[in-house]
Amino acid sequence: MDQHDDINGQMVECPKCASRMARYTHGGISVDRCPTCAGLWLDALELERLIDTPAEAREFDRGSSASPRRADTRKAISCPRDKSPMVAMSDARQPHVSYEKCTVCGGVFLDAGELRDLAEFTLVERIRSMLG
Ligand SMILES: [Zn+2]
Ligand SMILES: [Zn+2]
């Protein structure tokens, strides 16, 4: 069948293990989660929104922020939407969290546990700043 439907449609393929990702919607945000490796595909701006809402992040991310990132590889991966090569990014506040970002559409791929890790760190920072 025509593969072009997938690019603009609902279904994306996991860039790491090529499983069909399933779409989850919660709190007005939709993300795609891989049923095999539990990696998450987030469209541009979804990551920013989820980092600020740890409760939502936990809904989507079934991994643990404490679990080692065995799924992390140095292998180059391609954007599931536009097939552009994705670049490895490190979070400025949490250099141990690395994820892949597409420079064309702005989508990001997070391994299981990484979204949770990013969001929990943000929450801790916020509490610290409230305590002064
Ligand atoms: Zn996967
Ligand atoms: Zn892309």
| Model confidence pLDDT, tens digit, residues 20-43 | 999 999 888 999 999 999 999 999
Q: How far is the CA of 33 from the centre of ligand 1 (A)?
A: 8
Q: How far is the CA of 107 from the centre of ligand 2 (A)?
A: 6
What confidence category does residue 15 fall into, taking pLDDT thresholds of 50, 70 and 90? very high
Report the SS3 class of residue 68. Answer: coil
Q: Which amino acid is at 111?
A: D
Q: Which residues pair with 109 in a beta bridge?
A: 41, 100
Q: How far is the CA of 124 from the centre of ligand 2 (A)?
A: 31
Q: Do strands 86-90 and 40-42 pair parallel, antiparallel, or not at all (unpaired)?
A: unpaired
- Residues of the chain with pLDDT > 70, as a percent, come to 85
pTM of the full predicted structure?
A: 0.81
Q: Cβ distance 104 to 79 under 8 Å?
A: yes
H or E element: which one contains 59?
Answer: helix 54-60
Q: Do strands 29-33 and 40-42 pair parallel, antiparallel, or not at all (unpaired)?
A: antiparallel
Res 9: pLDDT: 55
Question: Which are the contacts of 86, defined by CB distance < 8 A and separation ≥ 6?
Answer: 15, 76, 77, 78, 79, 100, 101, 102, 103, 109
